[in-house]
Structure 1
Amino acid sequence: MNFTDPLRDLDGDKLREECGVFGLIGAMDAAAICALGLHALQHRGQEAVGITSFDGSEFFSHKGLGHVADNFASGETIAELPGMMAAGHVRYSTTGGSGFRNVQPLYADLATGGFAVAHNGNISNGGQLRADLVRKGAIFQSTSDTEVIIHLVATSRYPTLLDRFVDALRLVEGAYSLICMTPEGMIACRDPLGIRPLVMGKLGDATVFASETVALDVVGAEFVRAVEPGELLQIDFDGNVRSHHPFGTISPRPCIFEHVYFSRPDSILNKRSVYESRKQIGVQLAIEAMADADLVVPVPDSGVPAAIGFSQQSGIPFELGIIRSHYVGRTFIQPSEGARHSSVKRKHNANRLLVEGKRIVLIDDSIVRGTTSLKIVQMMRDAGAKEVHFRVASPPTGYGCYYGVDTPERSKLLAGRMDVDAMCEFIQADSLAFVSIDGLYRAVGHEQRNNACPQYCDACFTGDYPTRLTDLAARADHPAFDRPANKVA
């Protein structure tokens, strides 16, 4: 979501989803409903939140650093956001930094009127586009690549806002789910590959959009359908919905890591229960990499569904051998290094009397840098575990993501510089195994990965990027280019 150097060193030992979006049109108290929806998406970004509303004549915004509850618990704050249309955004900052100026939705006064945009994803040619716009005299107020979209819309020569918007998006590479507000209504769209998720629902007469179905559930909206890859939806204040497909037909490649980790387990993604997909990943792990052990122990909370599946398939009892403190936020999403390391120490504790003397199968969703995995293995040994076998509910994460997920450069990824045996030695486990890429695909409903035309974006595992990485091409010596990217027409 933000532009500077996409390869800077990033702290953390989990892949980080950058943001979540929520918007609705046609509801009284739209801002209050939006705040509730964003609260359900808090797991997608905990550093900053913003809501913009429109009352028929004027746009209003409130933004802040921290959680939704920190900024929108007050009725007075909600009262400052009148109107029957609102859009909001929760974010985790990455390459653009955590400055207040990057908090979304971003707003600008265009020739066609006010224009507010909330964006989940990343524009992989945002740097090039930004440089071109600056050379032509554009003045940027943020370091977010989302602002590039606003400038492209503003400078398009097409007569209508819709045509200007489409013209702008034709210049954009990468991933985006967008919720935009204009004086005429709301626009929602996904990139042609559908990399980032976006769903549509109904709440009475109101039309609602969200990154995940769980947000619809929480506000009491009925799920209608997913916004299709490459689809652009216009909704006016009378509730009329018009669908456009300006980018032609391209085989979609939604992010497979939404099934592994990003989405809440109570969401539905591509007509599949995320929880069930994660259980099935555990089943595949047990089929592919059984361990002779006494207990299956999840690394909470993200490893729990896969551990249940592993236990059910293997017959090894499932137990909570690690207890998580729920008064500590998702460790990786804390912005400062000091806060992150402090949280790691306070977040997990071994259930000592349970694991002592036992052979343990530890189940986690991924290994990124490996530092957390090392600490968890050591925690089990300190608690008296006889053996510790580590199983991972995703293939080795060996490549960076440039589509809206905050990952370290490849040299900082454990799988980017070690094979599985070396990784096992690094985390000091008795054995280590990952689910295969085909096993992951089976868990989410496919027989295997179609190597000629993959059904998902899985570049973090395979290096098979579905779009050009224009900004990264300036550093073509970077290991991300070990494999050529597929071209998108």
Structure 2
Amino acid sequence: MPNEVKSLNDECGVFGVWGVEGPAAKVAYSGLHALQHRGQEGAGILAIDANKRLNRYRGQGLLGAIFDDPHAFDRLHGNAALGHIRYATAGSHTINNVQPFMFENTETHFALSHNGNLTNADTLKEMLRKTGTIFQSDSDSEIFGDLIEISNQDTFLGRIKEAANQMHGGFAYVLLSPDAMYAVCDPNGLRPLVVGRRKDGAVVICSETCALDQVQAEYVRDVQPGEVVIVDDSGIKIDHFTEDTELTICSMEYVYFARPDSVIHGVSVHEARKRMGALVARENPTKADVVIGVPNSSLSAAMGYAIESGIPYEMGLIKNQYVARTFIEPTQERRERGVSMKLSVVKSVIKDKDVILVDDSIVRGTTSRFIVKMLKDAGAKSVHVRIASPDLKYPCFYGIDIQKPSELIGANHSVEEIKDIIEADSLKYLSVEGLIEAIDLDCDNQYHGLCTAYFDGKYPTPLYDYQETYDAEAKRLHLYEEDEVNG
């Protein structure tokens, strides 16, 4: 297996605000702080001034370091702003790929921020090249803006809708023009966007409700699949670029990516994770002395496991809060260095105990093996690993940075083999049915409102440009044979 550590890499965080009484860029800066967990590779903020000019400041690294420059906000005037926190799932790690992207080649100047991944990006780029488009980055995020620029529709909204209908995959866009702010979600709503309103009347659109809380905005609604939400000085309007929609939001938002204080489509992330922990305990009961969670994303699940099992919950692992989340480090070397620095064991909790270790996922196995060894070195009699999500065996093409089955330990080894690789005394996963029950979306479509393709291979859309490569590797790893066995 590749010697790489935790875990999954989500795309980005987006934040837009319209109608602020005062500098909108400062509000965007505050909101982006709440989304920093979604990416640490780069960040940018764009504002539109009174003369309808687009002004942008961006950089690589942490938001606070980028905007520590005393002149960062000098040109970011106006009552509307757009921000972005980046982790790359497509495109290289350069400043040219840091958003928001600006488009000034048409009558309506605009900017956009994107979360997700397009599954037909290569096809669209080839089509755009034939029209003479010159790309400002190698990220798939700018494709939407390029499609808008070549559209022949009479209105800017019409161009947005025509462009959105040409894209496939997972996408959540916020666009800003001198006249309005727009939010667009793919027909499956794979990546989240929420709308909120502040007491001063300003409207906020962002990736998670935790960012609404940060800027004192009240939740209004989630952006639904296929919608175009338009915000201007007259208020909020709802349109659609397609009616052919079916909610299948990424289940990993609930398992891992979102902050526990966020609410997605009416479901508290913290409460969903507690239920995941409770259900994996119910499905896989084990005698032990103590339950511990891997900080920070697994603590809610560990609480749920402890409550359901009756085994005491303890803080057996401590995270150094000044070390970044290793999943968002952009290189393998930096992830490896980060995981060795960020965790330590509370030996008094672990020594001479049979330990239940609750984690949210196993991707490559390196981190799990590292933690199990830490616990045993600290004196644990046994370590029983319980994963509060199903076995991750299939790649994601909608905005998570794992697109080959060969990268996933679950696609290459049985559960028993993984147990031996990570040197645990036992290993059990939550079932797919348990995950669906735990999240408990109020949705009765065939996917229960969730994309669980990473666990069961049931993709809600065609894979387009990725299909041929995926078919070849899945066949090599015998994933199709397992699909047939599982029905």
Band the TM-score falls in, shorter-chain normalisation: over 0.9
Matched, 1:433 2:408: no
Match of 2:23 in 1: 29
Count of equivalent residues = 475
Query: For residues 161-209 of structure 1, what are the alpha-carbon distances to aligned partners after superposition, in whole Å with 9 as ceiling and x for unaligned?
Result: 1111111111100111111011211111211111100000011211110
Instruction: Map 1:56-75; keep pairs closer than 5 Å.
Output: 56=50, 57-74=52-69
Aligned match for 2:457, one of 456, 463, 483: 463
Aligned match for 1:312, one of 307, 310, 334: 307
Match of 2:337 in 1: 342
Deviation at 1:124, TM superposition (A): 0.5
Match of 2:437 in 1: 442
CA distance in 1 between partners of 2:5 and 2:314 (Å): 27
Aligned match for 1:191, one of 169, 186, 191: 186
The answer on whether the counterparts of 1:296 and 1:316 sit within 8 Å (CA) in structure 2 is yes
CA distance in 1 between partners of 2:235 and 2:351 (Å): 62
The answer on whether the counterparts of 2:5 and 2:339 sit within 8 Å (CA) in structure 1 is no
List runs of 5+ in structure 1 lacking aligned partners. 1-8
Query: For residues 4-54 of structure 1, what are the alpha-carbon distances to aligned partners after superposition, in whole Å with 9 as ceiling and x for unaligned?
Result: xxxxx8954211111000001100210000000000000000110011110
Matched, 1:233 2:233: no
CA distance in 1 between partners of 2:403 and 2:354 (Å): 33
Change in Cα spacing, 1:157 to 1:68, as seen in structure 2 (3 Å) is same
The answer on whether the counterparts of 1:207 and 1:239 sit within 8 Å (CA) in structure 2 is no
Match of 1:3 in 2: none
Farther off after superposition, 212-221 or 471-480: 471-480
CA distance in 2 between partners of 1:483 and 1:116 (Å): 42
Deviation at 1:269, TM superposition (A): 1.1
List runs of 5+ in structure 2 lacking aligned partners. none
Aligned match for 2:170, one of 156, 169, 175: 175
- The residue identity in structure 1 corresponding to 2:46 is T
The answer on whether the counterparts of 1:464 and 1:483 sit within 8 Å (CA) in structure 2 is no
Instruction: Map 1:259-270; keep pairs closer than 5 Å.
Output: 259-270=254-265
CA distance in 2 between partners of 1:64 and 1:442 (Å): 41
Match of 2:396 in 1: 401
Aligned match for 2:217, one of 217, 221, 226: 221
Matched, 1:48 2:42: yes
The answer on whether the counterparts of 2:45 and 2:100 sit within 8 Å (CA) in structure 1 is yes
CA distance in 2 between partners of 1:451 and 1:223 (Å): 25
Identical aligned pairs, as a percentage?
Answer: 41
Match of 2:281 in 1: 286
Aligned match for 2:110, one of 109, 115, 119: 115
Query: SS state of the match for residue 71, structure 2?
Result: helix
- The residue identity in structure 1 corresponding to 2:217 is A
The answer on whether the counterparts of 1:391 and 1:434 sit within 8 Å (CA) in structure 2 is yes
CA distance in 1 between partners of 2:292 and 2:427 (Å): 14
Change in Cα spacing, 1:380 to 1:11, as seen in structure 2 (3 Å) is closer
Change in Cα spacing, 1:354 to 1:400, as seen in structure 2 (3 Å) is same
CA distance in 2 between partners of 1:400 and 1:301 (Å): 24
The answer on whether the counterparts of 2:171 and 2:190 sit within 8 Å (CA) in structure 1 is yes
Change in Cα spacing, 1:47 to 1:318, as seen in structure 2 (3 Å) is same
- The residue identity in structure 2 corresponding to 1:25 is W
Deviation at 1:310, TM superposition (A): 0.5
Matched, 1:85 2:80: yes
- The residue identity in structure 2 corresponding to 1:43 is H
CA distance in 2 between partners of 1:84 and 1:451 (Å): 40
Query: SS state of the match for residue 367, structure 1?
Result: coil
Farther off after superposition, 425-434 or 339-348: 339-348
Query: SS state of the match for residue 111, structure 1?
Result: coil
Query: SS state of the match for residue 279, structure 1?
Result: helix
Query: For residues 370-399 of structure 1, what are the alpha-carbon distances to aligned partners after superposition, in whole Å with 9 as ceiling and x for unaligned?
Result: 010001111111111101100001101101
CA distance in 1 between partners of 2:407 and 2:236 (Å): 46
Query: For residues 246-302 of structure 1, what are the alpha-carbon distances to aligned partners after superposition, in whole Å with 9 as ceiling and x for unaligned?
Result: 301422111111111111000111111111111111110110011110000111111
The answer on whether the counterparts of 2:164 and 2:241 sit within 8 Å (CA) in structure 1 is no
Change in Cα spacing, 1:336 to 1:224, as seen in structure 2 (3 Å) is same
